[in-house]
Amino acid sequence: MDFQAYFQTRLEALKGEGNYRVFADLDRRCGAFPQAAHHKDGAVRDVTVWCNNDYLGMGQHPAVVGAMVDAVQAHGTGAGGTRNIGGNTVHHLDLERELADLHGKERALLFTSGYVSNWAALSTLGAQIPNAVILSDEKNHASMIEGIRHSRADKVLWKHNDWRDLDRKLHAVGDRPKIVAFESVYSMDGDIAPIREIVEVCEAHGALSYIDEVHAVGMYGAHGGGVSEERGLAHRIDLIEGTLGKAFGVVGGYITGTTALVDFIRSYASGFIFTTALPPAVAVAAATSIRHLKASGFERAGQRANVAKLRAALDRAGIPHIANESHIIPVIIGDPVKCRMICDILLADWGIYVQPINYPTVPKGTERLRITPGPLHSDADIAHLVTALASLWRQCALAHAVA
């Protein structure tokens, strides 16, 4: 087989479909975000970023940056290996205590990313619990899907956010051990799960409840514990999974739960045992960010105000966007080529960076711009974005929203 020719043919097919991924070369500047430097063909120009998941700007918060710098000076740049061999540092343990407290749980466990924490936890639960079946919301993230697949446990899909369908399917499973996996905020449509109803169904059937809060931690609840905290339900959920790489502005993933549940995953999950631990400086910075957001509602309030401002401005301009309760604003284009073209024009002509979201991240025909306003976007930034989108809507003959 001519491997190189095969690779090239497949890449050309992606390009022809409009689904080939092109990444902008960006240089975030501490203290200036959401402005960043865009590098292309030897030229550098300032752009405004509208699609970053550092939702609250904590990646450049002076306290978080200072904590990481001090920790690097004190402890070096790396962990030196797995915790299984190199041991814990006091900073890993301190961060895990902060995370357990954030969600009102007995214990937490760190992983290198939110993807890995989902993959490792779900694969371990499904593989190690005899005769287990995992019931997964049909729109769950790829990391959850991969974890379930790797576990080789039986899987049942239930209709997105449909707790009645979940109830029917849990009843059909019978007396087998059951794990229900779902998200709080779904990142592409921005919709929020009916968590109370899902938890009540899980409790009625004796199922273990597993919620992914990666797009909600830091963002919702009085202390940033996510939608489960905001709705007073965290104590009724068996396992809460989250990330340090979005609203907390650092990197890493984690799970929280009872001591026995977390220790079980720590003891059996290959995704924890056999991979290098997070650097101590990352743990220190993350703990600093969490402590700050536990006490401060300033960033969350600013972010929500800007979400409301942008939605209102889009409505006035007739730019259609999916209505939801979250901080994520999806603007549907519905065509991969137009979606890529719009993003290219926004970057080249308007100094606006929004990455196109195409298949397989979203179904074909639902290609979109995924806009995430933050507290550091100015009123002028919002006005400039809406002016640019309105111009492109006319230029590309896209449908306007009906008033």
Distance between alpha carbon 86 and the CA centroid of its chain, in Å? 29
Q: Which two tokens stand for residue 229?
A: 């905290």
Q: Which phi-psi region, left, alpha or beta, contains residue 154 (left: φ > 0; alpha: ψ -120 to 50)?
A: beta
Closest CA to 147 of 121, 108, 109, 112: 121
DSSP state of 192: B
The two beta strands, 208-212 and 356-357, are unpaired
Q: CB neighbours of 306 closer than 8 A, spacing ≥ 6? A: 373, 374, 375, 377, 382
Residue 317 burial (CB count, 10 A): 15
Q: 184 with 193: CB under 8 angstroms?
A: yes
Among 139, 169, 178, 246, the one annotated catalytic: 246
Q: 169 with 156: CB under 8 angstroms?
A: yes
Look up 338 and say whether it is catalytic.
no
Buried b (16+ CB within 10 A) or exposed e, 320-342: bbbebebbbbbbbbebbebbbbb
Q: Say how far apart CA 370 and CA 238 lie, in whole Å.
A: 31
Q: Token pair 């979005």 is at which residue?
A: 246
Q: What is the DSSP string of 28-91?
A: E-TTTTTEEEEEETTEEEEEEE-S-S-TTSGGG-HHHHHHHHHHHHHH-S---S-HHHH---HH
Which class for 146: exposed (0-12), middle (13-18), buried (19 or more C-beta within 10 A)? middle
Closest CA to 176 of 210, 126, 211, 124: 126
Report the sign of the C-alpha dihedral through residues 137, 138, 140, 144, in that order: positive
Question: Which residues belong to the active site?
Answer: 246
